[in-house]
Structure 1
Amino acid sequence: MDFSELWAIFGPGVAGAVFGAGWWFWVDAVVCSSVKISFLHYLPGIFASLAALMFNCVRKEDIDYSPYDEGEWRLKLWLFIAYVVSFVSLAASVGLLIQDALGKSGPSAWTGVAGVLQCVFVLISGLIYWTSHSES
């Protein structure tokens, strides 16, 4: 067996483990927090999960990289929107980390760090699954 066959077999499991680790960081921060976490802090992780789902709705084989063919514009628009959602969720989690680190009365800085780790791990898991699942 070569690496691509092994990656096609074990890649989705690795992606699931990385996704679970990302959400585990967030659940740990919420459970260990001494103050109530507002729903606003949950949104970056939810949108990162949505972006990972959006990435995985597209197969790599369906993307045509020819600059002269306009047949796949809907697919490329879908991927562009997925990229925008993923980067906005990551930027929002970093913004909440800065807000938590600077504020004295809000959640601890660990809540912000866990939110950033959650977004990074969820988006990495989407990339891992997309590369492993689309192999033919």
Structure 2
Amino acid sequence: MGLPEIWRNLGPGLAGAVFGAGWWFWFDAVVCSAITVQFLHYLPGIFASLASLMFNCVRRDELQDYSPFDDGEGCRSRTWLFLSYVIAFVSLAGSAGMLVQDALLPDTPSSWTGVAGVLQCTCVLASGLMYWTSRTATE
């Protein structure tokens, strides 16, 4: 039993645990917040989850065979993957912006809410990549 086979067997469960941990950080911060957290603070995590779902819609074998003159599936898959990574990085940047806002401005949720948002986006995106690599692992 090689490492790719172990990763193929254990990766999806580990990815699910990391995804759950990311959302747990966020729910903990929202519940422990002294003031009501606005819906705008929820958006980075929602978009990170969407991006994770988007890049798991692309199979690895669609990305390996590429010809610049091919109008087929490869170009669409690469464009979809690029769009999903743009959404992922924007959600991560948005959560970092919320962290700075929560730390500096009065009448905003605590700094823990901002930190939890960054942890949430990081965990959700990492779990998506873990699932993508484990589901397409080959020997």
Q: TM-score, normalised by structure 2?
A: 0.94
1:46 has 2:18 as partner: no
- Deviation per CA, 1:95-134, whole angstroms, max 9, x where unpaired? 0000000012110000000000000000000000000001
Secondary structure of 1:135 counterpart: coil
Secondary structure of 1:78 counterpart: helix
| Correspondence 1:51-62 to 2 at 5 A | 51-62=51-62
1:75 matched residue in structure 2: 77
Q: Which runs of 5+ in 1 are unaligned?
A: none
Give me the identity figure in percent.
Answer: 62
Q: Distance in 2 between matches of 1:133 and 1:7?
A: 9
Q: Distance in 1 between matches of 2:100 and 2:6?
A: 40
1:125 to 124, 127, 130: 127
- After TM superposition, the runs of 4+ consecutive aligned structure 1 residues lying more than 2 A away are 64-71
Q: TM-score, normalised by structure 1?
A: 0.96
Q: Distance in 1 between matches of 2:98 and 2:69?
A: 41
Shift of 1:79: 0.3
Q: Which runs of 5+ in 2 are unaligned?
A: none
Matched residue count:
136
Shift of 1:62: 1.5
The alignment's C-alpha RMSD in Å is 1.1
Matching residue's letter, 2:109:
P
Shift of 1:38: 0.2
Shift of 1:135: 1.9
Shift of 1:69: 4.6
